[in-house]
A and B are shown apart, each in its own frame.
Chain A
């Protein structure tokens, strides 16, 4: 009986120790989710002029009556560049609506005025709020730039173009570049060979026999902007990476590694492509052992290919850049 009393007392103590319900709740208020939609404060940028190159950012603020799915679209008025930020919240602030100058849809932003539109992905309203900001200097990307073609032709590069018809290989300045002003065009008809033309970006262009890259291929990304012509979706581009394993200043295909990354250009317009260097496959049966040594990269070649029976092929490239730790965020 005595023990039963002990047990009962223990149970009473335990039951009485149970907490009262919390006097606050988790998550957004249900009223903010299911109540009527209203805009409490209009869309504003945290600053008007932004110097992205020096690390400045801009964020947008707006307060609504309820939680909604929203989309913030920033469009460069000259370039047509687009940055899209989406979210689900009742307020826009530094945490959810921060822009660091990066681009969602190429081309990348230039020195230009940008229109900012906030739309709401709900059937309750078709309201679109607008504002604008001015990019005084575009975002500077960390990484090793092989070329963005802005300096023109480098005499240390080499090129080969087939003697086909309508061949159009060269640096173009026609206002359609995805980054700054210039890009490299590759087009033509070659009805006897897959290769229409190619260009070698040699390390000697930087005054070295190897490119100044880290030795960790798991941590290094190759990035490029590649153009797909919707009228001629028959292009392929092969990026080739030749390593000078013995550091004698030249690449020997029989004893040193060459890696290849081939793209079938089945898209329309400019696209950012990126690949981890260690994921690039050998192009010469691992003649040099197959180990990725980006610090011994002697040459990057870009080959424009097309089925000889497919007629005119057209593509273009721009902004070849290696980045560390993560793919380029243009």
Chain B
């Protein structure tokens, strides 16, 4: 399998040189300008202004009806740049894709890819609810910057997909495969590391689909002066069986598989475990969807294609990264807050990370690695309602989970997460022509553990509330507002891991405070693809147990154009 993937990579790479004769040319891309004046009350220099204007210019060339070559360049000019100073030129995207022999769909260069939630998937662990209003604009910016769309990870490599149809027994088979290099050799102790895999999805008929999936992160022998080969293999079976009766759909789907992670020079430290996720669902005519699921993810289940987090909390902020501790006038690092997740796209990773990334228990303690979180078992219930009259959308989930293996004790942590997101399109009530949207979301997470000794006890509760509003006051002019609040109280015993991800100690994490953001703004929409927004944010950080409190005010002017 591994050598097949490498051959695929080489064949597809060599094919790149033969696809350059352009006939049809199309320009795509976008432009954005952001200008900010920010004030952090306890920074040594409290006010900062800055911004940038950038242009992403993509050229799509279709040399023939089956081939597309795309190159996108970015010109980024920071405000204050002078005679070319502060101007950066980058290649933002580059790929060639097409269909060979009317059968094989291929893409080489930048590929956005995913397989299944347990093998290769970009889970959204921290921004738990999608927003409207001013936060919606922030999300729009960082989703564009990070290429996060439809839970794919952007890779540099190649993909090859094709399908086969059959007259009898089986309806069709889809085959998908990819290969990418996630780090290069230093010719000494770091080997070339690849990530590749694929799946075969067998659609027996319109009701039953079975998928066989495999991904592997592996080092390529001989690319450095070491024989210590790292491997993370994950294999799974996915299934979906459903029936339709008068547009009422009900069925079950899920994924079951095994994972292993090992290094050839220390086979005794290998980890192998299994995972299981099954869900029954019912989709009603009325737009109501119900689901009931169970999951059992082993404590040693490791799948870094699915467990790579978007944000590691073991990093510094890029903006006001230090501020003054008023108690002793020393400068301290400013911790990454929930507001920073909305405000700074540079905090986000754009690729697979091998090894467990640090999470923030105040933001995601129940499923820190999405549904692919290890050491979790239990069930969940989901309800989703899409109003056919488009008046209201509702999404609710309740997870009741526990650890499958204790950490430092046989007592297990229990987890409860409830999440509700409701969006009301108010203008539908009176058939108004001007848009009026209200969104309310609430995410509550509880972690608890009881034990024989006091130090075993864990009781951490977090509440994340987001209220957003968008009101079209005049044609294409919107008033917007958001109120985002994160409140956390209690304690947890956070594991401290060594470089091999083994737990070596614990840190008592104790907190009682909140973050709050009140944001308001005005958006002038020129078209569906372009708008100008003026936003004012007022942020308060009140987690004094973690770092000292501060207030942060920011005014921004954002212009976005996509073409």
Contact = CB atoms under 8 A, between A and B. Distances in A.
A30 B453 contact: yes
The winner among A10, A23, A325 for most chain B CB atoms within 10 A is A10
Nearest to A218: B187
Interface stretch (A11-19, A140-148, A149-157, A223-231): A11-19
Contacts of A4: 250
A21 to B, nearest CB: 5
B455 A21 contact: no
A29 interface: yes
B377 A33 contact: no
A34 B280 CA distance: 43
A81 B503 CA distance: 33
Given A14-B294, A28-B505, A89-B504, A7 B252 contact: yes
A30 B409 contact: yes
Given A67-B504, A88-B496, A88-B505, 18 more contacts: A3-B243, A7-B251, A10-B278, A14-B294, A15-B278, A17-B276, A19-B296, A21-B402, A21-B406, A21-B412, A22-B406, A24-B405, A25-B408, A26-B299, A28-B408, A30-B455, A33-B455, A33-B506
Contacts of A67: 504-505
Interface of A: 3-4, 7, 10-11, 14-15, 17-19, 21-31, 33-34, 67, 88-89, 218-219, 325
A19 B377 contact: yes
A265 B360 CA distance: 42
A325 B188 contact: yes
A22 B405 contact: yes
A325 B299 CA distance: 37
B404 interface: yes
B176 interface: no
Contacts of B71: none
Contacts of B404: 19, 21-22
B225 A325 contact: yes
A31 B452 CA distance: 10
Top 6 A-B residue pairs of the complex, sorted by shortest distance between their CB atoms: A27-B503, A30-B408, A34-B455, A22-B405, A25-B406, A18-B296
A301 B402 CA distance: 66
B506 A25 contact: no
A22 B294 contact: no
Interface string B356-383: 0000000000000000000101000000
Contacts of A21: 377, 402-406, 410, 412
A325 to B, nearest CB: 6
B455 A7 contact: no
A27 B456 CA distance: 14
A295 B553 CA distance: 60
Contacts of B502: 27
Interface in B248-264: 250-252, 254
Contact of A29 (B280, B298, B377, B409): B409
B493 interface: yes
Interface string B234-273: 0000000101000000111010000000000000000000
Contacts of A7: 241, 250-252, 280
A26 B412 CA distance: 11
